[in-house]
A and B are shown apart, each in its own frame.
Chain A
Amino acid sequence: MEKIFIICVEDQREVLNAVLKDLESFEAVFFLEGCESADEAEELLDEIDAGGNYIGLLICDHIMPGKSGIELLIEVNRDPRFSYTKKLLLTGLATHQDTINAINSAAIDRYIEKPWNVDALQAQVRTLLAQFIFDQGIAYEKYLPYLDQGVVLERVRKGG
């Protein structure tokens, strides 16, 4: 049985704890991992991929020491192994230009501004995970309670 991972990258430990806590409910069917730097995330991505598992969603902080979130997302976007991975940028620096750059250069699927609203964050995660699962043709039934119902309905109708 395949494992689907949600990876959160955030250099500030307290912020990472808060994100992970807010996404805790997804752990019923998904695997949730936290990373404190882009380099750490890349190692973990390699490892998960080598184990034959999926990275369904990569949630990434914007500004981090060392490699920034945008750089990480750009690299992941270029890597054919992770072309399917959904990418969400969590940013405290949502200036217009910066966000445009991020979306254009890293093919980010969504961005959320800090401080985030739990419901909005969870809703975005449900939407992206639903898209990922249908894109990949993974049997969705088991994940259903954690997927966005609108996306599911649309995809099922299309597929049917």
Chain B
Amino acid sequence: MKETLVQVNTEWLRTTYFSDPARRIRLQAGEILLYENQHNERLFFVIEGTLHGYLGYETGEPFEAFRSGQNHFLGVYSYFSRTHKSYSTVIAQTDCELAYIDGDQADTIEEDGMGFAEHFLPVVVEEIYMRQLLTQRMTIQNQKTTRKLFHAEKMATLGQLAAGLAHELNNAVGVITRQGQQLAAWAEDIVRNDDDSGALYLFQKGLQQGSSLSTVDQRRRRRDLEDRFDLPAAVARQAAAAGLDDADLAALGKDPAEKLARFFPYFEAGLAFHDLNAAAVHASQVVRSVKELGVANHSLRIATDVAETIRQAAMLLKDPLKGIALDMQLTPGMTLEANPGELVQVWVNLIKNACEALHGQGRRNPAIAVGAVREGDTARIAISDNGPGIPPDLLPHIFQPDVTTKVEGLSFGLGLGLSILQKIVDNLRGKVEVSSRPGATVFTVKLPLNYEL
């Protein structure tokens, strides 16, 4: 039903003005009653059927301006205005019957002493009201479009920036990685020529294993070595740092202190190459995630099982999930056309975030629930945790690239995680939403299931 602002005495107007059988027209569905800007001196009354009015019909991108049906008036604007121009193109959606009046009747005075125009005043007022609604609708539509465009533009700019940055950094990191490896190989050859095999052993230990013991274990081992082997503190420290076990020490012979003092620098050199490489690998991982933010990988889209990608993600996160109760309720058989790797990345991102929110808090009974259900043509995946929640002031901004909720506990990711995730979900025509309060943070991803096996 059409919204009515003023009381229109439709029945009276119809019998009084629209009962002349000579002034009737019939339209078939699809026929055009009026064109935009067409001259019109008729005021129509819809006896039966539905008609839609469009703006810009000729441009090929029509915008629906109104819908009109039984007992509605049409052509109000063009009839009453001086220009007599229709502002929209009116098309019959069904077979229609209309009655009309034209210019001649405008001067008649009825028995009640009121003029024609006065009788139609409520109709005109309603027309004005409808136009106001239309303007509002158009403004809102406009805002939505602008916002979408702005977002797309932002992502495109960021994408270009990221791609450029990734290229430059990859070149730099590539040189560091390769030259580091060359240097390490060269140094290893030199050490190999050393007359004592201990030097090579320690160099390789550093190069291959890095710091194999945690700082806690190193301290423990140090004390152990001081006590059991009666090593001086400095030597014990070196042996612990190099991760030497009892057999290694025995191999150093009668005077391990003297040998260790001589060989430890070789371990440190090996360790330096190891760490150099580890840092370069880390850097290229960061670069890759920046790049993924900008460049969507459309190339590899196959039928992908949603539940399967979630299981894979959980498997990858075995370590951070330690000590957290994970409840997974996954509806099988939901497939869509996607890059499975990207989808796994989405879940990894969300589950890892949840883990970090929980680990930071030392909360009792930390739990994560992952639910995947089908809702019509959509897969709805909800990942919730009982962590402390996202601060309300941060919540509207968490999908922006530079925002991290993990002020504590960011191990890697530059706060890019969620914006990458949104990009992936966007590309799958999906949606991601978040709600959060202390004890319940829920990320909901909705993906259209456009692919059926």
Contact = CB atoms under 8 A, between A and B. Distances in A.
Interface of A: 11, 13-14, 16-18, 21, 33-36, 40, 44, 63-68, 71
Given A63-B407, A66-B408, A68-B409, A40 B271 contact: no
Contacts of B356: 65
Contact of A66 (B215, B219, B279, B359): B359
A14 B268 contact: no
Interface in B408-445: 408-411
Contact of B275 (A17, A40, A66): A17
B198 interface: no
B340 interface: no
A63 B410 contact: yes
Nearest to B277: A14
A40 B213 CA distance: 14
A113 to B, nearest CB: 16
A63 B275 CA distance: 20
Contacts of B282: 14
Contacts of B210: 13-14, 17
B216 interface: yes
Given A40-B216, A65-B411, 12 more contacts: A14-B275, A14-B279, A16-B215, A17-B275, A33-B215, A34-B215, A35-B215, A64-B409, A66-B408, A66-B409, A67-B360, A67-B408
Contacts of A63: 406-410
A71 B408 contact: yes
Interface string B211-232: 1001110110000000000000
A124 to B, nearest CB: 22
Most buried by A among B268, B271, B407: B407
Contact of B360 (A18, A21, A33, A66): A66
5 contacts: A17-B211, A34-B215, A36-B214, A63-B410, A67-B360
B140 interface: no
Most buried by A among B214, B356, B360, B408: B408
Give the dominant DSSP class at B's interface.
helix
Interface of B: 210-211, 214-216, 218-219, 268, 271-272, 275, 278-279, 282, 356, 359-360, 406-411
Contacts of B359: 65-66
Contact of B215 (A21, A36, A67, A71): A36
Q: Kindly list the 4 A-B residue pairs having the minimum CB-CB distance in the complex, ordered from nearest.
A: A14-B275, A68-B408, A65-B409, A34-B215
Nearest to A14: B275
A71 B211 CA distance: 27
Contacts of A16: 215
Contacts of B406: 63
Contacts of A65: 356, 359-360, 408-409, 411
Contacts of A40: 215-216
Nearest to B279: A14
A51 to B, nearest CB: 13
B55 to A, nearest CB: 49
Contact of B278 (A14, A35, A67, A68): A14
A66 B363 CA distance: 12
Contacts of B218: 34
A10 to B, nearest CB: 9
Contacts of B216: 36, 40
Contacts of A67: 360, 408
Contacts of A71: 408
Nearest to B234: A27
B394 to A, nearest CB: 13
Contacts of B214: 36
A64 B410 CA distance: 6
A103 to B, nearest CB: 16
Contacts of B215: 16, 33-36, 40
Given A65-B356, A65-B359, A17 B409 contact: no
Nearest to A69: B408
Contacts of A64: 408-409
Contacts of A14: 210, 275, 278-279, 282
B275 A18 contact: yes
A44 B408 CA distance: 21
Contacts of B279: 14
Most buried by B among A44, A65, A66, A71: A65
A33 B275 CA distance: 19
A94 to B, nearest CB: 14
A21 B268 contact: yes
Nearest to A18: B275
Most buried by B among A14, A63, A66, A71: A14
B186 to A, nearest CB: 21
Contacts of B275: 13-14, 17-18
Contacts of A18: 275
A65 B413 CA distance: 13
B358 to A, nearest CB: 11
Contacts of B408: 63-68, 71
A66 B361 CA distance: 7
Nearest to B276: A14
Contacts of B272: 21
Contacts of A44: 219
Most buried by A among B219, B279, B406: B219
A17 B360 CA distance: 25
A40 to B, nearest CB: 6
